[in-house]
Amino acid sequence: MRLEELVKKLNQEFEVKAYGADPAFKRFLPAAYESVSFDWEAAFEEEFTSYFNGLMIRGASEVEQVFLAVFPTDHVLERFIKEGKPGDLLFMHHPLLMECGDPQGEWRRGFVPIQPGLIEQLKEKQLSVYTCHIPLDYHPSLGTSAAMAAALGMTVTDGFLANDRGEHLILIGEIEEINSPELKETLQSVFSIPYVDCEGPSLEKIRKIAVVAGCGDKVEWMEEAEKKGAQAYITGEIHCHIDSEYGRERFSKMMAYASGTGMSLIGVSHAASEYLVKKTLMKDWFEQNMGLNTTLLPQEKWWL
């Protein structure tokens, strides 16, 4: 398949231009690369430097295979460079690595740029990179939260944090009755993670849940979910473990809320929560709609 055709279909499916510049990465990407004195505007595609979504690095003109990942960790990029052939495309959620920290380990750095040497290797091998952040999060049928809802057998009944078309970032709905310990076991299996991060009470009966991929560690979001009747709040990160004043302030605010909430709060890791859509909905979309082979690139460590 021609790269131009695939990029056009992806841009249309996710309405990349309609969203404008990505609100997170228009701030964090320039800062990350400027911190290492790297000319990111020259390295990346011109349209990407305006929207911070879409085709980031242009490779050869014919795409045979799509690789699927969340963050551009060294491990992920090294595998892509080793296994990819000229023209292959890496479809990621983030154009930067985000080190969120490990609830059972170290606090980490937050946003980290791709090593310039790896960017050069991608270009030398004529590999393409396409990233899709906010447009993927909000997509009603291919979204990160939509994938979580589908995997948990959730019937969506409500939501909040809507975009201009009324599509919700946070989804609320009904599942088959389950208790908190069973829900934690289910989540470890669904997301293929060694452990979850938990706060709040352990409940005997859970029927209504809220789901949001990524960093859901915002107290105001949790409060709104609880007002809407959610008994469990499932997200990537319930705590911020970024080793900075910002991270410690977020952590403290979250702990104050957790001490009084009636919801079970469960984190499955930022990366794993967003990888789910890649190994389910997006894998099927590329194979069934685009006729392309796919290769999954899971992270070497989910709590990073």
Residue carrying structure tokens 């908190």 = 180
Q: CB–CB of 226/263 below 8 Å?
A: yes
Torsion, Cα of 20, 10, 302, 123 (10° steps): -90
Distance CA 292, CA 283 (A): 9
Q: CB–CB of 191/273 below 8 Å?
A: yes
Which residues in 265-279 are b (16+ Cβ under 10 Å) and which e? Answer: bbbbbbbbbbbbbbb
* Position 175, amino acid: I
Strand order in the sheet with 89-92: 54-57, 128-131, 89-92, 65-68, 293-296
Residue carrying structure tokens 């609830």 = 103
Report residue 121: phi and psi, to 5°. -65, -40
Residue 24: DSSP 8-state: T
Residue 289: DSSP 8-state: I
Is 94 known to sit in a ligand binding site? yes
Is 137 known to sit in a ligand binding site? yes
| Residues paired with residue 107 on neighbouring β-strands, in sequence order | none
Is 226 known to sit in a ligand binding site? no
| Torsion sign over Cα 31, 35, 40, 42 | positive
Distance CA 233, CA 103 (A): 17
Is 93 known to sit in a ligand binding site? yes
Torsion, Cα of 241, 175, 94, 225 (10° steps): -60
Distance CA 150, CA 9 (A): 24
Q: What residues are designated binding site? A: 93-94, 137, 270, 274
Q: What residues are designated binding site for a divalent metal cation? A: 93-94, 137, 270, 274
